[in-house]
Amino acid sequence: MKDSRNSVKIETETIYETRYISNLFNSMSKTYGLVNYISSFGFTERWRHQCIAYLPETGQMLSGYDLMSGMGELWHSLNKRLSKKAKVIAIDLSEIMHREATKKKERYSFHIETLQADILQLTLVYESADFIVSSFGLKTFNHEQLQNLAEVTCNLLRPGGTFSFVEISSPSSRWLRIPFHFYLKWLIPVIGRIFNGNSNDYRMLGIYCEKFQNAYGFTSMLREQGLAAEFKSLFFGCASVVYGCKPGSV
Ligand SMILES: C[S@@+](CC[C@H](N)C(=O)[O-])C[C@H]1O[C@@H](n2cnc3c(N)ncnc32)[C@H](O)[C@@H]1O
């Protein structure tokens, strides 16, 4: 194996290692926001709004988590939903994504605490969350890591607490899937390059997406943990949402 994102040959195990992922997003951080917006024709922003719209209504939304929070791309959508008293802990692995998120947190009316950490290695307060949200952070987890994430989600939510995760997905129709993957793997890297990013970094997003497929598997994992989870496909399967709640009430 040549250990570099500039190498074409990358072993599957390597791309799910936290150091690899953190380097990847550190490297993409400068161009990520713009490239993401332009290359998705604004769809990623729309899907973030939909992620928050699917978050079930509950009595209280005072304390929550934004997992794999990046540079706080979900906060604009969350701002419309949360009161000024609400507090969100935003967790991201990448130092630079975390640093940029920390700079932005004062722009929002709710309180934000940013943490740079691997969500699967953190010890967080059991049943401390009224809600958990996450946008585009599932695809860089392999099967086993997704199972751990489902367990973390269940442990963090209080009974009655809600969650919503959105991720880019592989459309089920062949007619759409083939051009979609071609676009992700070959054209997005070119767009990334045009905006001064590293095209190999952007190519990885397509590779992760192809391996991830969609949020259906994660929906089953959340159900196995005892959560009430619903799966929804967005825009002909180009993205998918899993949302629901932890049964019970406090
Ligand atoms: C594609 S970005 C999504 C960022 C943002 N949520 C958005 O809507 O654009 C995925 C983020 O997940 C973070 N990430 C990946 N694995 C993680 C882990 N195990 N723990 C915490 N953050 C992680 C990466 O550092 C990266 O910033």
In DSSP terms, 116 is beta-bridged to 92
For residue 93 the two structure tokens come to 């692995």
Which residue has better confidence, 58 or 248? 248
Which residue has better confidence, 78 or 7? 78
CA of 109 relative to ligand 1 center, distance in Å = 23
Alpha carbon distance 28, 92 (integer Å): 14
CA of 56 relative to ligand 1 center, distance in Å = 23
pLDDT of residue 249: 77
Q: Pick from 15, 31, 92, 115 the residue to mutate for probing ligand 1's pocket: most ligand atoms within 8 Å of its CB.
A: 92
Which residue has better confidence, 163 or 10? 163
pLDDT, tens digit, 9 for 90 and up, residues 148-204 = 999 999 999 999 999 999 999 999 888 888 888 888 887 888 887 877 778 888 888
Q: Domains plus CATH for the chain?
A: 12-245 (3.40.50.150)
pLDDT of residue 250: 62
* pLDDT band (50, 70, 90) for residue 206: confident
Alpha carbon distance 244, 77 (integer Å): 18
Could you tell me the CA-to-CA distances from 107 to 101, 104, 159 in Å, in that order? 11, 6, 31
> pLDDT over 90 for what percent of the chain?
70
Average pLDDT over residues 97-117: 97
CA of 161 relative to ligand 1 center, distance in Å = 22
pLDDT, tens digit, 9 for 90 and up, residues 58-78 = 778 999 999 999 999 999 999
pLDDT above 80: residue 7: no
Total count of residues recorded for the chain? 250
* pLDDT band (50, 70, 90) for residue 35: confident
pLDDT of residue 185: 83
Phi/psi of residue 114, each to 5°?
-105, 140
E-strand ranges in the chain read 63-67, 87-92, 111-116, 129-135, 157-168, 228-234, 239-245
* pLDDT band (50, 70, 90) for residue 2: very low
CA 47 to centroid of chain Cα atoms: 11
Alpha carbon distance 136, 169 (integer Å): 10
pLDDT, tens digit, 9 for 90 and up, residues 211-237 = 999 999 999 999 999 999 999 999 999
Q: Which of 10-14, 90-94, 154-158 has the lowest mean pLDDT?
A: 10-14
pLDDT above 60: residue 1: no
Q: Pick from 140, 165, 208 the residue to mutate for probing ligand 1's pocket: most ligand atoms within 8 Å of its CB.
A: 140
pLDDT of residue 200: 85
